[in-house]
């Protein structure tokens, strides 16, 4: 698979390099030169396959040159070795597609675990690798668990201090061993900036074998395409005809993957790009002006991002496919409305969490007659236990993944959002 840098099209790399580098020159994102497709004749066959076989077929469309199907199958099986997504009926025409049944209870397990498999199998010389990543909540846990105890890999995760839920923090800051966690006195955007600065520092990058695991990494994005096909395979012929998918967006990786599934040939009628008050994209789609504001904290903290990294990929995809950005539906939801929507879902018999509730809200507001809607359940409600219990005035129980970690001490370091401080840390620890 060839990829080009969106900021400098003359920089072209293969899949292996794109996975290892994360970002290209000038911090440009990598984008596939060829956009593979699945023909309408192939599609029903692919939809009938089991999740692992189908995911192998889909990923093989992109990386057939660098990995045999047999080897890819083994990697996919290892990466997606957990309970598959579930489709839950909320109303007749709105269902939730729950992607949070992995080891860290968020959809990010798909991307992080596949990326870990790719790094492991591409690192033939067993060089030492440092994975540096920023998290607004769930990436940290997914990446930490995916690489936990992996040989030759050191993982460093930055997160905004006090801006992720207590349980999210417990999930990845209690592991130790090859996982180092650093709370930053700032916002997620500050963390993301520090990561970018580290990648810009060539010497540092080479001396510690720096690699990124953010949703900017192409391997994570590709893995996420697979569950859109799974969603489609689970709905009826009738529902397939007018399918609308509402995606809770932060860095816009999930939506990019969804759009890539459409570009492959999955006939999804429309997507809704859903954000909280950090609404740079909805405002852009509304008035054509890219005008990020200061990031504000909300109860859907994994979406507290005002400069979404993946957006240039979405623009590029629309350009390449000659799609019109006007076809992308969008909206933003305040905390007050998110709470209302959580209560509405509760009355419908479903306990959700703030991220999915935003997608639900925009879906139920925008779904037209004869359309069928799925909203993505991106994290398990128990990860936001305190918030949700307060809003719904009900008790929710913790799954074992969280129960096991809650009593363990936090092992995080803490630094100010200053690059020299991070650099010292990277070189010392």
Ligand X SMILES: *Cc1c(COP(=O)(O)O)cnc(C)c1O
Q: Name the site residues for ligand X (rule: CB under 6 A).
A: 106, 108, 137-138, 215, 248-254, 302-303, 355, 378-379
Q: Buried b vs exposed e over 70-85: b needs ≥16 C-beta within 10 Å?
A: eebbbbbeebbeeeeb
- Measure CA of the first residue to CA of the last residue in the chain; give whole Å: 35
**Tokens (6 digits) for 253:** 């990786």
- Paired strand residues for 14: 2
Who contacts 275 (Cβ-Cβ below 8 Å, separation ≥6)? 248, 249, 250, 281, 282, 303, 330, 331, 332, 333, 358
Query: 3-class DSSP state for residue 376?
Result: strand
Residue 105 C-beta: closest distance to ligand X, Å: 9
Q: Which residue, 242 or 295, is less far from ligand X as judged by CB?
A: 295
Residue 255 C-beta: closest distance to ligand X, Å: 6
Q: Which residue, 136 or 211, is less far from ligand X as judged by CB?
A: 136
359 burial type by CB count under 10 A (0-12 exposed, 13-18 middle, 19+ buried): buried
Residue 378 C-beta: closest distance to ligand X, Å: 3
Q: Which residue, 123 or 275, is less far from ligand X as judged by CB?
A: 275
Q: Which residue, 99 or 204, is less far from ligand X as judged by CB?
A: 99
**Tokens (6 digits) for 383:** 């990860």
Kindly list the distances between the CA atom of residue 101 and the CA atoms of 81, 377, 380, 386, 425, in Å, as whole numbers in the listed order: 11, 10, 8, 20, 34
Query: 3-class DSSP state for residue 129?
Result: strand
Q: Which residue, 108 or 145, is less far from ligand X as judged by CB?
A: 108
Q: Which residue, 67 or 305, is less far from ligand X as judged by CB?
A: 305
Residue 395 C-beta: closest distance to ligand X, Å: 21
Q: Which residue, 24 or 250, is less far from ligand X as judged by CB?
A: 250
Residue 248 C-beta: closest distance to ligand X, Å: 4
Do 402 and 383 touch, CB atoms closer than 8 A? yes
Residue 298 C-beta: closest distance to ligand X, Å: 12
Residue 423 C-beta: closest distance to ligand X, Å: 26
CA gap 242, 162 in Å, rounded = 42
- Paired strand residues for 98: 86, 377
312 burial type by CB count under 10 A (0-12 exposed, 13-18 middle, 19+ buried): middle
Residue 72 C-beta: closest distance to ligand X, Å: 23
Q: Which residue, 120 or 303, is less far from ligand X as judged by CB?
A: 303
Residue 133 C-beta: closest distance to ligand X, Å: 12
Q: Which residue, 99 or 182, is less far from ligand X as judged by CB?
A: 99
**Tokens (6 digits) for 63:** 């990386």
Q: Which residue, 100 or 232, is less far from ligand X as judged by CB?
A: 100
Residue 68 C-beta: closest distance to ligand X, Å: 29
30-32 and 2-5 beta bridge pairing: antiparallel
- Paired strand residues for 372: 243
Kindly list the distances between the CA atom of residue 248 and the CA atoms of 29, 32, 112, 301, in Å, as whole numbers in the listed order: 21, 24, 18, 11
């Amino acid at each position: 698979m060839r990829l080009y840098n969106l900021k400098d099209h003359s920089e072209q790399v293969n899949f292996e390099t794109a996975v290892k580098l994360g970002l290209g020159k000038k911090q440009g994102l990598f984008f596939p030169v060829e956009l593979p497709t699945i023909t309408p004749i192939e599609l029903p066959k692919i939809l009938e396959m089991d999740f692992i076989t189908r995911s192998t077929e889909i990923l093989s469309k992109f990386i057939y040159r660098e990995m045999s199907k047999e080897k890819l199958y083994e990697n996919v099986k290892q990466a997606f070795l957990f309970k598959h997504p579930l489709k839950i009926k909320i109303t007749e025409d709105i269902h939730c597609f729950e992607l949070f049944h992995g080891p860290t209870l968020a959809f990010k397990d798909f991307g992080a675990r596949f990326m870990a498999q790719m790094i492991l199998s591409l690192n033939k010389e067993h060089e030492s690798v440092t994975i540096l990543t920023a998290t607004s909540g769930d990436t940290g846990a997914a990446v930490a668990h995916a690489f936990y105890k992996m040989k030759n890999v050191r993982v460093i995760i930055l997160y905004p201090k006090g801006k992720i839920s207590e349980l999210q923090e417990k999930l990845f800051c209690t592991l130790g061993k090859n996982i180092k966690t650093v709370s930053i006195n700032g916002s997620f955007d500050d963390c993301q900036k520090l990561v970018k600065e580290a990648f810009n520092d060539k010497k540092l990058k080479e001396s510690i074998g720096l690699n990124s695991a953010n949703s900017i990494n192409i391997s994570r994005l590709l893995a996420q395409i697979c569950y859109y096909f799974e969603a489609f395979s689970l709905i009826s012929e009738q529902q397939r005809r007018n399918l609308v998918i509402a995606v809770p967006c932060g860095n816009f990786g999930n939506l990019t993957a969804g759009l890539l599934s459409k570009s492959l040939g999955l006939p999804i009628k429309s997507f809704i790009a859903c954000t909280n008050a950090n609404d740079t994209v909805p405002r852009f789609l509304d008035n054509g002006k890219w005008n990020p504001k200061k990031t504000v904290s909300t109860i859907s903290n994994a979406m507290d991002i005002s400069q979404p990294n993946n957006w240039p990929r979405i623009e590029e995809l629309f350009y390449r496919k000659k799609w019109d950005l006007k076809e992308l539906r969008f909206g933003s939801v305040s905390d007050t409305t998110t709470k209302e929507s959580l209560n509405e879902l509760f009355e419908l018999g479903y306990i959700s969490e703030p991220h999915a509730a935003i997608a639900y809200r925009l879906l139920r507001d925008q779904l037209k007659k004869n359309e069928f809607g799925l909203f993505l359940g991106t994290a398990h409600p128990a990860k936001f236990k305190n918030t949700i219990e307060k809003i719904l005035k009900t008790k929710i129980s913790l799954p074992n993944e969280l129960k096991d970690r809650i009593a363990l001490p936090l092992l995080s370091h803490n630094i100010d959002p200053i690059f020299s401080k991070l650099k010292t840390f990277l070189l010392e620890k």
